[in-house]
A and B are shown apart, each in its own frame.
Chain A
Amino acid sequence: MMAWATGWLALAGATLVLLAAIGVVRMPDIFTRMQAATKASTLGLGCLVTAAAIALPDSSSVVRAVSIAAFVMLTSPVSNHVIARAAYLTKVPLWKGTVVDEWSSSRDIQSSDW
């Protein structure tokens, strides 16, 4: 029973990671690619980590698995925010169907200090 739960969770996580990779190839510009990659892969990693924690039920493995999930869920939004900001500031072109770009009209766009 537990082995089946591990198998189906692993399959769900692998499907999400595969969808993230397909999104990165198929989406039209960097910002849409980024949202495909970040959300799907983080959720897929969550499923896979749950599968590993069920497959290895001793306490040290569960703690390590949970810490991997917590670490990725904390750092993945930060790193993708930082890439998106760098991409926008280095004037990577937006998709031609982009509807709203609020940052382009604000004046403090170049006043970053890091």
Chain B
Amino acid sequence: MGPDVLLRAALIMITLALFISLVRVIQGPTLPDRVVAVDLIGISSVCLMVLEAAVSKEPAFLDAAVVIALLGFLGTVAYARYAERKGRE
């Protein structure tokens, strides 16, 4: 029993969160619902990378987290622009 148990529990909970938001991606009735869920999956992946950096004492995971955060933001904004233009026509 040590602090490691807490870190393992946190890793399991974030993995669970990824799969739970995958449920919304699959069954979301409209496209924006799916985009919100995919955005949450992106943030959860960033959380997983940051936590893995803390668990394994390996700072390279932080770089991966920066890249995932950037790509998730750009993807979301690109989708919203596309959807709004399509909705106006």
Contact = CB atoms under 8 A, between A and B. Distances in A.
Nearest to B62: A64
Contact of A55 (B33, B37, B54, B72): B54
Contact of B51 (A52, A58, A110): A52
Contacts of A8: 6
The secondary structure that dominates the B interface is helix
B13 A24 contact: no
A60 B59 CA distance: 9
Interface residues of A, number: 58
Interface of A: 3-4, 6-8, 10-11, 13-15, 17-18, 20-22, 24-25, 30, 33-34, 37, 41-42, 44-45, 48-49, 51-52, 54-56, 58, 60-61, 64-65, 67-68, 71-72, 75-76, 78-80, 82-83, 85-87, 89-92, 110, 112, 114
Interface of B: 2-7, 9-11, 13-14, 16-18, 20-21, 23-24, 30, 32-33, 35-37, 39-40, 43-44, 46-47, 50-51, 53-55, 57, 59, 62-63, 65-66, 69-70, 72-73, 76-77, 79-81, 83-84, 86-88
